[in-house]
Structure 1
Amino acid sequence: MSETFDYCEIGRRVIDIEAQSLQQLTQYINGSFTAACELIANANGKVIVMGMGKSGHIGNKIAATLASTGTPAFFVHPGEASHGDLGMVAKGDVLLAISNSGEASEILTLLPVIKRLGIPLISMTGKPASSMAKLSQIHLQITVDKEACPLGLAPTSSTTATLAMGDAIAIALMEARGFTADDFALSHPGGALGRKLLMRISDVMHCGEALPVVQENATIKDALLEVSRKGLGMTAIIDQDQTLLGIFTDGDLRRLLDNHVDIHNTEIGEVMTRSPATITCDVLAAEGLKLMEDKKINGLLVTDNGKLVGALNMHDLLKAGVM
């Protein structure tokens, strides 16, 4: 193999060919696309996605995208469907069958049964005159001028176009359903995105006996002991009614020591930081993180109508996976 072989030139050519295919795909976003979206939106069941070979791999991703954006869907392998997995398909479902040629025998074999079950068929093919296109209620055309493969054999432009058409359907349905970021988080609870969208301050804050707090007439020494016991690098200062008055942090201590303040006899109320940054427990933890970053602080006090209910620091958010 030549040492001067230009991999980059080939890579750019592939991307240019596939980009052109996507540009041409917009002509097929038409009445059939609208009809397909409406059929799925009004269905009582799920979207069953089928495809063989590379179309199957793309179909798997389309089903996953639909499911994560508010449209119940899953992939069924056509070969396995002929041996029992067709039992996963039920009345009220919609079948989305993918085949660039439109002649995938494994899918065509199933269509009489699909028709008998009364399940509507949406086909996605590159051949509008194909058997699958003719047998479907709605046909979505995904024709490309050429594959990026120089032999014209490996599915490249065609699979890219198929994936893009699937994304177009999923996002159109997502917006039509009014699917929100909170809805998205509910289907992604295990990932970092889900934690950012679902976790609230109440889920990570310290409260009860773990809450660092002293009365305003406590000495600085007492406040330091509380900071040390609770391990949050701060303590809240309250009055007799649990109303938050201020905060005292490790940073405040360093400044006091520089000024030679008597920590044994000075009351914490004299040196605390008044009107500290606070947050409510129902706010997203991610918003608490942003507040700390904006104010360049490491801890937050949580209040409810001015009453102290909790506290958290940057380490709590790090442990929870919010940052």
Structure 2
Amino acid sequence: MADKTQLQKWGSKVIDIEKAALDNLYQYVNSDEFEDACKLILQCSGKVIVMGMGKSGHIGNKIAATLASTGTPAVFVHPGEASHGDLGVLSKNDIVIAISNSGESSEILTLIPVIKRMGIPFISITGVPTSTMATHAKIHLCIQVPEEACPLGLAPTSSTTATLVMGDALAVALLQARGFTKDDFALSHPGGMLGRKLLLKVSDIMHKGVQLPLVYEDTLITEALYEVSRKGLGMAAIIDNDNKLLGVFTDGDLRRIIDAEVNLSTTKISQVMTPNCITTHEDVLAAEALKVMEQKNINGLIVVDEAQCPVGALNMLDMVKSGVI
């Protein structure tokens, strides 16, 4: 059995070989063909159909998913299934991206006449510029690698890595060319953590109405503590008679006044509150509010309107429950 040193040596060699393959990829990205492929896809009024067999199919599936989530409508179609009916997904406004390291995938070659007869532009991604797929394509993107990381030269390794990176290069170039924004990205990721961070606003998670801890400036500390306890946010907003925010009183303030031996039954909350406290607005992204809390090392925020009247409050636990953290 191989020892630790030998296993690490083999693993490191794979990384070295695949790094060399990616260095070799620069010449193909910095080519007229890459530019032409991007422009063709940008002009497409339909969707991008990605195809590939075997390991190329797995990579193609990921490329299609990345394109779709970054502003380029795309789906993966299995070439084997395509010749048995799934090719019906194709429309005249679509573009096909076919992937095969050898460029001789029989399942894809069978489909080329049909794709051409439909007048659909065909982009090939192969490691052999003289292959059948490359020569029949409108645009060929080369992903030729110096060598596979597999010592037998059989298992696709460097070539699949190069293909994946070429797909990412296409997707990101297209994203930037389209002016795709964080808001656009969030709309296609509403269910995951990314979507929650990009879509959730303070108004979606803040406590408001009767849940909002509020006390007037002349309230005694003992009475204010009842409000803090009842609302369970570890703080209370201090307001004047016009409902304008004057400050905040938190659990941290309570610890400080206890250390200072302040009389809780006779002292007004306005005398011990934190004035000019940090606030946020309800239309702010929850992720941005979280960033403020982390930077200022505070556990909660009062939400105010344009008139500086409290309309809500939230704390770190709300961030956790909503999935922003």
Question: Normalised by the shorter chain, which TM-score bucket?
Answer: over 0.9
For residue 64 of structure 2, what is the aligned residue in structure 1?
63
Cα gap change, 1:3 to 1:271, in 2 (>3 Å): closer
What whole-Å deviation, never above 9, does each CA across 1:148-170 have from its counterpart, x for those lacking one? 11111111111111111111111
1:322 is matched with: 324
* Aligned-pair CA distance for 1:5: 6.7
- Supply the distance in 1 between the matched residues of 2:280 and 2:5 (Cα, whole angstroms): 59
1:159-206 C-alpha deviation (Å, 9 max, x unpaired): 111111111111111111111222222222222222222221111111
The letter for the 1-side match of 2:219 is: A
Partner secondary structure for residue 6 of structure 1: helix
In structure 1, stretches of 5+ residues that fail to align are none
The match for 1:54 is 55
Task: Name the counterpart of 2:9.
Answer: 9
Query: For structure 1, which segment, 267-276 or 26-35, has the greater mean C-alpha deviation from structure 2 after superposition?
Result: 267-276
Q: 1:311 to 1:114 in 2, by over 3 A?
A: same
CA distance in 1, matches of 2:176, 2:321: 34
Which residue is equivalent to 2:181? 180
TM-score (norm 2): 0.95
Q: Percent of counterpart pairs with the same letter?
A: 65
Give how far 1:104 is off.
0.8
> Where does structure 2 lack aligned partners over 5 or more consecutive residues?
none
Counterpart in the other structure of 1:312: 314
- Equivalent runs, 1:1-323 vs 2, <5 Å: 1-3=1-3, 6-29=6-29, 30-305=31-306, 306-323=308-325
Look up the equivalent residue of 2:17 and give its one-letter code. Answer: I
Shift of 1:3: 4.2
Bigger drift between 188-197 and 198-207 goes to: 188-197
- What amino acid does structure 1 have at the position aligned with 2:315? N
Deviation track 1:40-90 (CA, whole Å, cap 9, x = no partner) reads: 001001110000011101101111111111111110000111111111111
Q: Which stretch of the first structure deviates more once superposed, 12-21 or 57-66?
A: 12-21
| Distance in 2, Cα, partners of 1:290 & 1:121 | 46
Q: Secondary structure at the match of 2:107?
A: helix
Taking the aligned partners of 1:212 and 1:131, their CA distance within structure 2 comes to 71
Q: Distance in 1 between matches of 2:20 and 2:260?
A: 70
Q: Deviation digits for residues 259-306 of structure 1, max 9, x if unmatched? A: 333323332222222111111111121221122222222111111121
Amino acid at match of 2:319: L
Shift of 1:224: 0.9
Query: Separation in 2 of the partners of 1:26 and 1:271?
Result: 63
Q: How many residues align?
A: 323
Q: Which amino acid aligns with 1:37?
A: C
Deviations 1:84-111 (A, max 9, x none): 1111111211000001111111111111
What is the rounded CA distance, in whole Å, between the counterparts of 2:272 and 2:13 in structure 1?
68
Structure 1 counterpart of 2:70, which letter?
A: T
More moved, 186-195 vs 18-27: 186-195
Shift of 1:234: 0.8
Greater alpha carbon shift after TM alignment, 134-143 vs 40-49? 134-143
- The letter for the 2-side match of 1:25 is L
C-alpha deviation, 1:4, in angstroms: 6.8
Distance 1:108 1:4 in 2: 45
Could you tell me how far apart the structure 1 residues matched to 2:260 and 2:158 are?
71
Find the aligned partners of 1:127 and 1:144 in 2 and give their Cα distance.
Answer: 10
Over aligned residue pairs, what C-alpha RMSD do you find?
1.5
Q: TM-score, normalised by structure 1?
A: 0.95
What amino acid is aligned across from residue 23 of structure 1 in structure 2?
A: D
1:20 is paired with a residue of what secondary structure? helix
Alpha-carbon distance in 1 for matches of 2:3, 2:300:
57
SS in 1 for 2:81: helix
Counterpart residue type for residue 176 of structure 2:
E
State the Cα distance separating 1:217 from its structure 2 match.
1.9
